[in-house]
Amino acid sequence: MPEPLRSPMPESHPLPPFLGLLAVDVKDSTRLPSREHARLSRSLTEIVHRGLELAGLKEMPREFESHSGDGLAFGFDPSRVPYVISPFADVLNTLLQEHNAGPGPHLRLRMSLHIGPVPRSPGLPGDGNAAPRSETHRLLDSVPAREWLARADADATPLVLIVSDTVYRRVVLGGYCALPAARFAEVHAEVVGKNFAQPAWIYVPSPSGDLLTRSDAGRGADHGETAGNTAEPAPASPRQGGTRMQFVESGVAVMDCSMGDFHHHTEPRPSPDRRS
């Protein structure tokens, strides 16, 4: 019997299911005494889980949930992406404000959302690892996400949300999210020293400080985590996209937390105009 014809081309592989990912990381946790680390981790986890519950997402399965001591991450039902944007972001923002009004280190978070195929292999190493997960963390670490949180008032603005252009167009412009597109501002999400630069969109539940005044005051302090001394202009007004697209089945979310007075400041860097 003749052998099947073998193609000289590489083999194709099935596309993994689209999945959401949410991750939280605490900035500057090493500046706290070692005895405070466990309490910080518990507080962060409790606030995120409580926020999901109040936002109606308590029953949403959390896949490959992991805790790193100063952060947590898990996969989530991709159809929940609109609800992670709203109401979850606003609920989380309120919980953080309430927490920061009490004693102990303040928690300030960056959160990012993305959409893409993520493999699932429960119980095996590498579960949930794929390019969309890396891209989500890149959005989180991007200069605009860090700058917007750093330039807002530490007490009034505990959360900044950055979403990928895919999420913005398919979920926000698609009309699946309760928040209007006008609440988002376009940014150039770049990570210094990494091969990553993409258009993205930022939403701030409770803007304050330079985010309101567009003032140059208060800039110029060293920003240790964003490497480089380039500048980012004051947050620009959002530019509306003209395309309305249907929501696809996945989302990726990441959050990062800055504690109290330990958030960074940096010189703003210019963002290139986005090409249509």
d(CA 60, CA 20) in angstroms, rounded, equals 11
Q: Percentage of residues in the chain with pLDDT exceeding 70? A: 72
pLDDT score, position 205: 96
pLDDT tens digits along 17-27: 988 777 767 66
Mean pLDDT calculated for residue range 96-123:
88
Distance CA(121)–CA(119), nearest Å, equals 7
The predicted model scores a pTM of 0.76
Residue 151 pLDDT exceeds 60: yes
- What is residue 6's predicted lDDT score, i.e. its pLDDT? 65
Task: Judge whether residue 241 has pLDDT over 60.
Answer: no
Kindly tell me if the per-residue pLDDT of 54 is higher than 90. yes
CA–CA distances in Å: residue 224 to residues 129, 189, 229: 28, 18, 10
Interval 158-168 mean pLDDT:
92
CB 149 within 8 A of CB 188: no
